[in-house]
Amino acid sequence: MIKIIKGVFGYREGAFIIPKTPNDAPFSLSSKDEERLVTLGVAEYVGDTRNNTPVENDAKDYNLDMKLVDLKAIAREKYGVDATSEISKAGVIALIEGRITGKTDEAPPEFTAIDPVV
């Protein structure tokens, strides 16, 4: 698995190209493509067992016992999720988990020829 750390990468999902940015959750590609992006410096390995790099801990850093304000802070700081309009802990957790799995109700951004991509 890799995570984009610079710029935007066009990730093919079926017939669509989905932009992957540093705010997006880690994803998998072929080992050759992952290595190419890491070598270019636009991505980093996540949970990689090669070269004795420890695998990420599966323990969640959020739960329903936390205060709503703390959940919103974790959502924003660690996962890049804007949860300011959420009024429940379950709602914030659903946004975080949607970001992690890539399954959200949010439509992918639409770019036109005049929109800059940074």
Q: How many domains does the chain have?
A: 2
Helix (H, G, I), strand (E, B) or coil at 11: strand
Name the DSSP letter for residue 18. E
Residues 51 and 13 in one domain: yes
Evaluate whether residue 109 is within a structural domain. Answer: no
Query: Do residues 55 and 46 lie in contact, with contact meaning Cβ atoms separated by under 8 Å?
Result: no
Residues 41 and 16 in one domain: yes
Task: Examine the pLDDT at 52 and tell me if it is beyond 60.
Answer: no
Burial class (CB in 10 A: 0-12, 13-18, 19+), 9: buried
Residue-range definition of the domain harbouring residue 96? 60-104
Residues 32 and 75 in one domain: no
Residues 52 and 65 in one domain: no
Per residue in 57-96, pLDDT (tens digit) is 455 788 888 899 999 998 888 888 889 999 999 999 888 8
Residues 19 and 55 in one domain: yes
pTM for the whole thing? Answer: 0.42
* Token digits of residue 69: 């304000």
* Token digits of residue 89: 């802990």
